Structures are given as structure tokens and as C-alpha cells.
């Protein structure tokens, strides 16, 4: 199974559409957003352009109102709030969070196959023991060029894509 991992979209609708189009082309059917969507309108845009399951958490630029917004968007949209978010997808135990320090602690716990985070806007990937710890980079194109990643559950690895 393939899962699209995005973060730090910061209302960049053109790049969000590019990322979602590539994710569909790569046959991803789950999307994990590691925070900093920014506006409720952008969350609605993502939900409107993504047909698969969506999991998202809060970043430092997001509003707590996202919880109530997500509740109105249907069964395929899952709001995970702040803190460590957990999902079981494709036979893998996955955690995701906005902040790298918290994500590193989760990856060090041996509880997960993969842990994803955002916030730094910088692509990163390493293994801590058997756990993949990774940042998909940023969709908005601030600090580094815009991009995202696809997580392959069968291989427990990540492929980065430029936008």
C-alpha cells in the first residue's frame, strides 16, 4: 500500500493540487497531513480534491477549529488534534506529529513502524532501530523547494517527490 505524506501546505493551493495529483497517479489511497494546513478553506480544498482517506493533525499555524470542521466532512476525514497521532494502515503502525522533537521520541519508542513530522520544512529520512523517522518536506516551497513523499508500507520506506 502507498500513503501520501504531506506537511506545511500553508494555503498553497497550486502546490497542494500538484501533490494530490501525483499521489493519485502513484496510486496512494490514504493521505496523512503532518500539520500547518493553515486556513479552514484549505482544509476544505484538500477534502474536495482528495477522494481517499485523510488523516491530519494540528501544526503551530492551524486553528483548533479544525476539529469541528473535520467532523462535518464525512467518514473518510479523520482529525487527530495535537500530540502524537496514531493510525494502523497497510499492516503498519504509523505515528505522525507536527514537531520533530516529539516525533523523534515516538520513533525511539519501538512502538511504530514509521513516524512522520513536519514543521522544519526540510526533507529528512532516517531509521531509528527498525522505525522510519521522516519529514516529507513542505508543499508551500518555503525554506526548501516544494515537495511531499509517498510511504510504501510493504517496504517501510519513503520516496520524495518534487512539485
Q: What is the pLDDT of residue 81?
A: 85
pLDDT of residue 147: 98
Please state which CATH number belongs to domain 2-162.
3.60.21.10
pLDDT of residue 65: 77
**Per-residue pLDDT tens digits for 76-86:** 999 998 889 99
In the numeric block, the cell 506537511 is attached to: 7
**pLDDT tens-place string over residues 114-140:** 999 999 999 999 999 999 999 999 999
User: Which portions of the chain are predicted below pLDDT 50?
Assistant: none
* In the chain, domain spans: 2-162
Q: What is the dihedral of CA 83, 100, 91, 128, to 10 degrees?
A: -130
Q: Give the separation between CA 100 and CA 13, rounded to whole angstroms.
A: 25
Q: Checking DSSP bridges between strand 114-116 and strand 124-128, what pairing results, if any?
A: unpaired
Amino acid at each position: 500500500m502507498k500513503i501520501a505524506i504531506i506537511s506545511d501546505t500553508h494555503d498553497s493551493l497550486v502546490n497542494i493540487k500538484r501533490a494530490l495529483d501525483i499521489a493519485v497517479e502513484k496510486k496512494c489511497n490514504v493521505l496523512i497531513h503532518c500539520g500547518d494546513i493553515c486556513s479552514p478553506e484549505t482544509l476544505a480544498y484538500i477534502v474536495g480534491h482528495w477522494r481517499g482517506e485523510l488523516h491530519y493533525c494540528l501544526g503551530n499555524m492551524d486553528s483548533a477549529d479544525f476539529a469541528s470542521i473535520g467532523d462535518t466532512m464525512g467518514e473518510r476525514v479523520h482529525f487527530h488534534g495535537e500530540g502524537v497521532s496514531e493510525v494502523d494502515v497497510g499492516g503498519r503502525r504509523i505515528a505522525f506529529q507536527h514537531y520533530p522533537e516529539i516525533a523523534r521520541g515516538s520513533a525511539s519508542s519501538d512502538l511504530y513502524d514509521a513516524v512522520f513530522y513536519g514543521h522544519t520544512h526540510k526533507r529528512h529520512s532516517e531509521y531509528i532501530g527498525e522505525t522510519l523517522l521522516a519529514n516529507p518536506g513542505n508543499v508551500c516551497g518555503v525554506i526548501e523547494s516544494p515537495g511531499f513523499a509517498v510511504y510504501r508500507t510493504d517496504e517501510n520506506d519513503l520516496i520524495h517527490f518534487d512539485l
